[in-house]
Structure formats: C-alpha cells, structure tokens
Amino acid sequence: MPNIGIFPLGIVLFPGSSYPLTIFEERYKLLIREVTDSGGRFGINLFHDHKMFQIGCEARVSQIVKVHPDGIMDIIVTGGARFLISEFFTDQRPYMTAEVAMFDDDEPRPEYPLLETTIGYYNRLVESVYGEAEESLDPADWLEGGASFRMAQKCGLDLDVRQQLLEVKSENERLRFLSSYFTEVLPKIKQVEKIQMLVRNDGYISPDRPGDWDQSDSSLDI
C-alpha cells in the first residue's frame, strides 16, 4: 500500500477538479515543497465537525500561483484517484501520513439516457446561475464516466453530501442522485428569477421581453 502525506481540510476534492489553496502552516509548506520537487501526490481528506473522513482524493500541485516573502504559498491543486486510509501515522513526518488503498468505482460507465438527462438538467442550472462564466457539458464527452464529479463541483451541495458522493462507487448512482437534486432545485431557481424580474420591472411582468411571461406558470406564490 502506498504511503502518502495527508492534508485534512474543510473541503471535498473531487477527481479531476481543481481548487485554490493558501498554504501557511510550516508542516504543509514542507509537504507541498516535497511533492512539488518529487512530482508526487498527497491526499486531501475532509475534516468536518471534529472528524476526519477516511475516504479522500489524491491531489497534485498543478500550479504555484505565488510564493510570498514570508513563505506562504498560493497554489492550485487538481484531484486524482480516490483512496481509503488503512492506517495513519503522526510520527513519520511533521505532517500526517497514511497507508492508503485505491478506491475505484465498481460501475464506472454511465447509462447514456441517465447521463444525457442529468447533464441536460445541469446545463440549465449553470446557465441560470453562472451564465457564460461556466461552460455547458456535452454527454458525448463523458461516456467513460466522471461527469457526476464534474457537475458536483458547481451545484451548491453541502459538504456532507459532497463527501457522500465521493464515497459512492457507482457513476450511475451518483447521476441518479444529481438528477433528483436538479429536478428539485431548478424550479426554485426559476422562482427566484421571476421575483428578481418583478423587482426590476417595479412589480410588473413585461410582455415585451421574451421569456418574461410563462403561460404554463403565470402565478407567483409570495
């Protein structure tokens, strides 16, 4: 079993996702220098409510943005494979280390209709929330799996739910969860958009703007 440095954090890093970090503790500055010099990886595990979760995600330093005069580092890390901590140690290095076993999907390939439907919901959500700042996804690019992790980064999930998704060993199961989540949250976003539009128009829906009037749902519960 490989032995890697562990960085407990209040985030869930997903495979393939990138995350900015500021490193200010000396032990973690050492960890980052070591993995950067060696081209190696370390582990990020969620630490939440006084608990460190055993399933985490490998991380590599994909960019050192800035090293400040006091040694504080601004970096970007990118997630790799998931792992399960078998045993951890606090006496080998200044930072925690652990023996880990890789944690892979039993069911990595998605069912295409489920993939297509879930990505369709996701694209509607990011268009409403992020606009052009976030690109939409094409189901054809995700036939081998991984779309669930990509979508989970951007849809406002709580930490505990993110961790639960990280631990699920089926792409289809993760997609089914996200599909259900999107069908629940999209109408709420639409409702907020209508309220914002009413505020902009001093309490009136403008018939001159396409999309301002939805004949199938013309009432507001306020």
What does the pLDDT look like over 9-68, one tens digit per residue?
999 999 999 999 999 999 999 999 999 999 999 999 999 999 999 999 999 999 999 999
C-alpha 24 chain-centroid distance:
23
Q: What is the pLDDT of residues 87-130, one digit of tens each?
A: 999 999 999 999 999 999 998 999 999 999 999 999 999 888 88
Whether 218 is covered by a domain: the verdict is no
Structure-token pair, residue 107 = 């069911």
- With beta carbons less than 8 A apart as the criterion, state whether 56 and 43 touch: yes
Whether residues 13 and 84 fall in one domain: yes
Average pLDDT over residues 179-201: 72
Task: Determine the average pLDDT of the residues in 158-183.
Answer: 97
* Assigned domain for 207 exists: no
* Same domain (yes/no): 178, 130: yes
Amino acid identity of residue 90, one-letter, is: T
Find the domain containing 52 and state its range: 3-102
Least confident of 105-114, 141-150, 197-206: 197-206
Distance, in Å, from the CA atom of 136 to the CA atom of 120, rounded to the nearest integer, reads 9
Same domain for 75 and 123? no
Same-domain check for residues 7 and 94: yes
Task: Kindly write down the DSSP assignment for every residue of 44-73, as one continuous string.
Answer: EEEEETTEE-SEEEEEEEEEEEEE-TTS-E
pLDDT of the residue at 131: 82
> Of 122, 130, 187, nearest to 148 (Cα)?
122
**Structure tokens, 60:** 């590599």
Q: Please indicate, yes or no, whether residues 11 and 84 belong to a single structural domain of this protein.
A: yes
Does 218 score more than 50 pLDDT?
no
Domain-embedded: residue 220? no
Same domain, 54 and 132: no
Same-domain pairing of 70 and 119: no
71 and 155 part of one domain: no
